[in-house]
Amino acid sequence: MTLQPFSLSVAGTPVAGLRSAETGGTRVLALHGWLDNAASFVPLAAQLPELELVAIDLPGHGHSAHLPPGTQYNTPGAICHVLDVADALGWDRFVLLGHSMGAGIASLTAAAAPERVERLIAIEALGGLRGPENETAQRLREHVRAARALPTRKLRVFPDLIAPIRARMMANQLSEPCARLLVERGVTPVDGGYSWCSDQRLMLPTAMRLSEAQIDDLLAAIDCPTQVIYATPAQSYYPEPLRSERIGLLRDGRLAVFPGTHHLHMEHPQVVGDVIRRFLAE
């Protein structure tokens, strides 16, 4: 399957993405990870030609618009945005596919709007990152301090794409072709070269995080069949046994684990595609 660029308007705001040319298959809305974009799903889409796959650039990422000044990037807003996109597509019920941050948003959307989500596929995250209660005040202070200093920060300019591609390869253990996919959709031409086109506010420390008990309650509220896919070894910020224990909270969950890195859906699309195909055929 080859994904084609598309755009639509959601509440008067431009949303961009990539979608399959064919319609009529299982409707799947794909949500990428933090500072990634819709190109994250290009390798996987080639393995799943039978799907009607729509991969969006989440707000502030890729070619989608940034949120207006004074507006916060937060989880409730992201959930409502996903449902607004589905409305704009004319989709009443659909499958949610998410990677990393996108998997966190997808799983919480399934908990918040069970009547809309038929099935959930979560890659390398489930329920979002936790925040210990005793770090709440310090986290909020760091967010406020960084947010107020943001207007003085200058965008970094790269003379060509070599440096940002290398940066993504090093930061995420990505191969050059996968890093290039993300970078080419994640930069914008400026005087002197290129800059990241993602909203700088996405780099701010998260103001508030859910506690583990709150995440547990949300995961237990997911009604739909859920396929979780993890790479091994686990990421340091989402370690074992925590990440596997969360599977047990799902009413109808299953787990697949493969050797790989955080972007295993890009680096090993055939393996991940096989799991998704079997899950959707159940």
List the catalytic residues: 100
Q: Are 19 and 67 in contact (CB under 8 A)?
A: no
**HSE-CB of 166 using CA atoms within 13 angstroms:** 5
**Exposed / middle / buried, residue 228 (Cβ in 10 Å: 0-12, 13-18, 19+):** buried
- Gap between the Cα atoms of 34 and 198, Å rounded: 10
Closest of 267, 215, 244, 223 to residue 99, by C-alpha:
267
Helix or strand (DSSP H, E) at 182: helix 176-186
Q: Are 65 and 15 in contact (CB under 8 A)?
A: yes
Q: Are 2 and 43 in contact (CB under 8 A)?
A: no
- Structure-token match 């990505």, residue found: 174
Helix or strand (DSSP H, E) at 84: helix 75-89
DSSP assignment letter at 64:
S
